[in-house]
Chains A and B, each alone.
Chain A
């Protein structure tokens, strides 16, 4: 036995240590003993030790003597003189070492028979297994190689040290080096500005090394349209989120991961029903009449539904916010592009992971409606006579709270298993997910099954194939969500407005009790009597081949497809009024969608003279969208038990209704992009996309969408050299154009459609009519955007982020230009009008405290947005529209100089009091019956009467400010994440307020305050109208400042308390994290309804709240395990 780790024992060939090298000098011990052939030595070998008060150095020597293990370690930061006592009996060496180094800064890696001791912070070490051979320290050999950077440029002057031996060399001008060393030695390569890496010398005599740029946020490679780019080279406004940046919560949809985490991106949970879609807006909304939908691109496949993926499979999400970065997606990029990249396997052994949570959900907030006795009082008040006697009222109690009858506590579960691995010839990733959420409203749920297979083959260095496949199946049960008239309305609508004096149970004859005057169906009947199941299977994937057929020039061929097969079954049974009337009503709708994509790209990438970085991309894409559907419905079933499974048992003569359709549209695009960078300081990007669509006439089939952007890293300039606290300062300026396809099929051609039939002698005859007045001049809606931004990093990047200002103008808006209906068509689609969105997006990340055990980091995003309609066609000064429920209409306006779809109605300034001179005040129609207790509308034009000219803008559906703040605190293994999101300066229309003020009929229940806190002569300071004769201040006046309300809120979106279990390894796991989380714990808002964030208009621009599915408050327990 030799003394193994004394430097002086070695031939002394000292080279100058630089700071980095200090940490990395290790000793190498090579075993002289024979090893077992196959089974892992470390697993098999167990030893017994009994040592009292000896140095660690001695312990290691002892282990070396007893086993074939040899230690590699640094002698600088390791107190190997520390005295310890040890006692073990047939224990694995690893567990002895764990005890030995417990509470020290040393960790170890066992590789074959070498044990490498490193400092915990020294994460950069790259460990490469040495071939399993007897290694002898006298096996000296010469090794040589070339060191290059990631672009393939040879690096001269790279410092190479034999770890532990303090000797080494440097690369020459061509990046070459050679060294005589022992086999099994570790070489450390370091170079300023590059990541230091270590390599173990194996059998090979050649060891070529590629150094990556040094670890820094900026060196991240992020996904951009049709390629990747280093973050530092970006010239456009792109938000890049890694899995650790995602918003936490009960997320089954990729959009939710962006909530509050990406500046300029506004995510709204418009409905909290399980599996429902979300609203996402990137930098406002530019289109008046067309879709404002964001384009989602999953692994290069555009247009994929972000719900059809397991969020756990996502590696990163990039949002291309400005036109210069998004315009490469041409016609579908007008509303922003979100790129989702899924996970890949990494080289190394199989990694197996399991993530799971289970949660309990409750309705976060119920509406406060009148209880039975107050309801009776209200009916007496509304009817003006005694419908209910004082005894009735005294005996009524609270009655039925219908919300309690349809809401419940519900479970949510999520399980994800991932497997991944790979080697230098390829890698794989498999993700399996099961998500099951029961809704907080009874009879609603969502189950999602998702499997993902990502495989990459690299058979040759210049040729690889990547395949992504995602299989998704969703099973969604929905309640009837409808604000339709009377019995067509859904259970939430009914639960709020139904009669609380009725019991929620079945009567003797098996029917629910009803109040006929209310004309709504019983809420419980609507829950139990209605079933709606939608099944959707979505399979999508792509095969991408990259082939570098001449150096620096890579050809890419991608073929992808998305197949969606969905079917929805709806059945109303005899418990409901509708189903009872018809003896059951069932309908099935099924559809197939096939979208395929083929695209070819050529990429040329080269660095000239070390300073000029050039990338040129050219490509072409073809896409085909096919859809087909069939619908069948009938009524008059023999029995309810067969639901939709036996439509033929319905009333075939009268009930049967069928329809079907088929549509195809196609897109063809050509794209090109040049990126040029000089010295990493001056960066330039220009792109052009030419897109064509089958939907446009030959006149305007193709349109071009150019963009250009510049960036300047002025922190790299000489005048900034002395400003050490600035690590990054980059100015970006960009401009680009984006398109919006907007129109449907056939808008430019004349077709006839089967529409309109007549009955002659009892026979139905089918008619045909011109489908439209075609406009062959139609073209794309075009968005032009100017963006200027700064990326910054201060104090070793402990403060970093970006600020962007944008101004985007959307012109040639598609408008249904109203025609005088005398010509037989009421409108023609034309391009006119302009909308401007401008604003500022700010993001900031700070590392507030970094103190070994205790760390605190924050990140925040703030977006300021101003939306304005700047030009309307001359044929219309304004467009007034809006329809909520059946009877709330005409509340939004599109008018020049105001935000798109602003709320438009009457301003109320208090209540008329007894003694006011009402007769001489402006009132609606100056009706002589206008009385105290009725609202004082503001006579905006001072003409002495309240009429339609007195309407004003009462608000708009765009938040002035939206923000998200995430704080992460960690102390040793415990972490606490707190996510707060909020919006300020956004308004909505609250249909429940309208309904309370202007009930559809007198028997409908009201939100309590509108009855209990109404104006009466005895309570003249009450601010709500008297409720006497509401039609006098209703009708067109029903849209007013009572129901156009502020929807600003601050929400504690998520709190997660996590714990990394320290004994994970003892129980055979590589890591174990457990957490408890709460979603939507607290919302601060002035809004009265279920959820200020909701909108019954789904993803549309107009925000409207009326009996939305209530928000759930969720508490979850979760676990993340790695095996």
Chain B
């Protein structure tokens, strides 16, 4: 005898639950919780400001980008610095030995970083157009900052790779159209590229006011970058004129060179454009690479296996009283012992190439590898020497140029130079290059300076780097980009 369910109520509940679930409309609608819906987020200026912050974020050189751009790409192939030890050594050896190739990771990193910044800047430019409730003044400021950052990105790319593609994406482009632009745009000509970057900086110069903090774009930052762009392109008269415009602004040399790069000294009036670093945001990780092994640390700081060292020959170009030399450590006593460790030369005078630049004076608040020292990108000293160099190239040595150089030397307590000692353009050019080395070591400018002066390859060969060839003055376009765009021509010598 079968005992079957008779209860109507039970039956009904059963059917009810089924229908309830099946009746769920829009069940598969995708809900967004951790991200923002662009339509609502970008309605007002607050949203655009956040977009602009993201451009700064992408363009800034902080954290390990400082190491990669300033130290590895900017100094290790030059006469100033070298690296040994740690796992990093494996990646750095090709840079020091001039055996890099288009697949070397650092290049892809730089390329992607700055085209990312360019795309973000372009997004700001297209979004700001669509905003209605915003004053023209605010629009100009936003556009000015965005174009400054775009110009900066192209400036850095130019420095590393030479002219690269100029990209502009029409708003509302589909994924396919965007891809097409990426795959077909060839490299700009040198002329078009220069004009484009110049226009961005000039727009910023006109749109932005003076003053304000040096980590945010203003008239001075735009002028300074433009001066450097002209200088590196050997557009001497424009470099001279534009740098003079900067000198006319209210910047001044910071009196104590040895304190300038410390956390205490970083809010100075000499930094024209800098990237701010905090211990917990975009921290400066340089010092962890600079401390020698077993160095007595005064804080809870990391000391990495990778060692950033200074050539003895460079260290010895300073006059003994030059305060800039004080930022090097050449000996220390190993903790717990009385043993003095020598870094520059050993006991019998052999060069050790191991002095340590402590330029970013360790941050007392720093922890681990993270220190809070801001990273300068353009200082007034650079603009002063830019003017001096441009003047020399235009007219040969003259009193104005010598005076500018002496401003830098006097601040450092180095002896003044005299016009009578520099009778030729070549002699003063050589001195300016050497002086730039002493002033800007550890600041990532050495490679571009040597290239501009035509010494980059020659010096490498003199150091015994037999692989250094003329084409190495440009780094190669990353292989992945070449593979992905048939119209993109690789730099000479890398095919």
Contact = CB atoms under 8 A, between A and B. Distances in A.
Interface of A: 206, 459-463, 485-487, 516-519, 545, 547, 549, 555, 557, 577-578, 580-583, 598, 600, 620, 622, 635-636, 651, 653-657, 661-666, 668, 692-695, 701, 745-746, 748-762, 764-771, 773-775, 818-826, 828, 875-876, 886-887, 925, 948, 998, 1000-1001, 1031, 1034-1035
A821 B175 CA distance: 13
B30 A746 contact: yes
A516 B28 contact: no
B416 interface: no
Given A822-B185, A822-B481, A824-B118, A662 B33 contact: yes
Contacts of A636: 300, 367
A663 B165 CA distance: 38
A760 B123 contact: no
Closest 3 CB pairs of A and B: A824-B119, A519-B305, A767-B54
A767 B51 contact: yes
Contacts of B481: 820-822
A818 B480 contact: yes
Given A759-B278, A770-B123, A818-B480, A752 B41 contact: yes
Nearest to B53: A767
A981 B368 CA distance: 47
A752 B36 contact: yes
Contacts of B213: 760-761
- For A759, A764, A876, the residue with the greatest tally of chain B CB atoms inside 10 Å of its CB is A759
B115 A821 contact: yes
A765 B278 CA distance: 12
Contacts of A701: 28
A759 B35 contact: no
Interface in B338-380: 365, 367-370
Contacts of B370: 654
Given A654-B280, A752-B38, A600 B18 contact: yes
B200 interface: no
Nearest to B374: A759
Contacts of A461: 2-4
B198 interface: no
B33 A761 contact: no
Interface stretch (B55-63, B225-233, B321-329): B55-63
Given A485-B86, A752-B36, 6 more contacts: A635-B367, A636-B367, A654-B280, A820-B179, A822-B118, A925-B99
B484 interface: yes
Contacts of B116: 821, 824
A822 B165 contact: yes
Contacts of B11: 547, 549
A998 B302 CA distance: 25
Interface in B168-191: 169, 175, 178-179, 181-183, 185
Nearest to B2: A461
Nearest to A698: B28
B27 A668 contact: yes
Contact of A768 (B51, B169, B294): B51
Interface stretch (B89-97, B242-250, B387-395): B89-97
Contacts of B99: 925
B134 interface: no
B24 interface: yes
Contacts, number: 270
A775 B53 CA distance: 26
A749 B484 contact: no
A761 B215 contact: yes
Interface string B302-346: 111100000000000000000000000000000000000000000
B265 to A, nearest CB: 14
Contacts of A826: 112
Given A486-B87, A486-B304, A758 B115 contact: no
B14 A557 contact: yes
A764 B53 CA distance: 10
B451 to A, nearest CB: 24
B282 interface: yes
B109 to A, nearest CB: 10
B434 interface: no
Interface in B88-108: 88-91, 93-94, 99, 103, 108
Given A758-B57, A764-B278, A1000 B111 contact: no
A581 B57 CA distance: 27
Nearest to A768: B50
Contacts of A820: 179, 182-183, 185, 481, 484-485, 488
A759 B181 contact: no
Contacts of B115: 821-824
Contact of A751 (B38, B54, B175): B38
Nearest to B56: A758
Given A622-B27, A749-B30, A824-B118, A545 B123 contact: no
Interface in B9-55: 10-11, 14, 17-18, 21-22, 24, 27-38, 41-42, 47, 50-55
B276 interface: yes
B216 interface: yes
B87 to A, nearest CB: 5
B294 A519 contact: no
B185 A757 contact: no
Contacts of B2: 461-462
A764 B281 contact: yes
Contacts of B103: 948
Nearest to B299: A581
A875 B484 CA distance: 7
B5 interface: yes
Contact of B301 (A581, A746, A753): A581
A720 B346 CA distance: 95
B202 interface: no
A822 B120 CA distance: 11
Contact of B56 (A767, A771, A998, A1000): A767
Nearest to B116: A824
B53 A822 contact: no
Contact of A769 (B4, B51, B86, B179): B51
Given A462-B5, A758-B57, A823-B119, A753 B484 contact: no
A1030 to B, nearest CB: 11
B367 A655 contact: yes
B34 A662 contact: yes
A760 B90 CA distance: 36
A822 B35 contact: no
Interface string B473-495: 00000001101110010000000
Given A462-B2, A519-B85, A620 B178 contact: no
B54 A768 contact: yes
A400 to B, nearest CB: 20
A1034 B3 CA distance: 80
Interface in B55-93: 55-58, 60, 85-91, 93
Nearest to A1034: B90
B293 interface: yes
A884 to B, nearest CB: 12
Contacts of A764: 278, 281
B367 A654 contact: yes
A557 B181 contact: no
Contacts of A460: 3-5
Nearest to B369: A581
A494 to B, nearest CB: 13
Interface string B243-280: 00000000000000000000000000000000011111
A186 to B, nearest CB: 23
A758 B281 CA distance: 8
Contacts of A583: 300, 367
- For B41, B91, B305, the residue with the greatest tally of chain A CB atoms inside 10 Å of its CB is B305
B278 to A, nearest CB: 6
Contacts of B90: 887, 998, 1000, 1034-1035
B167 interface: yes
A925 B181 CA distance: 37
A765 B55 CA distance: 12
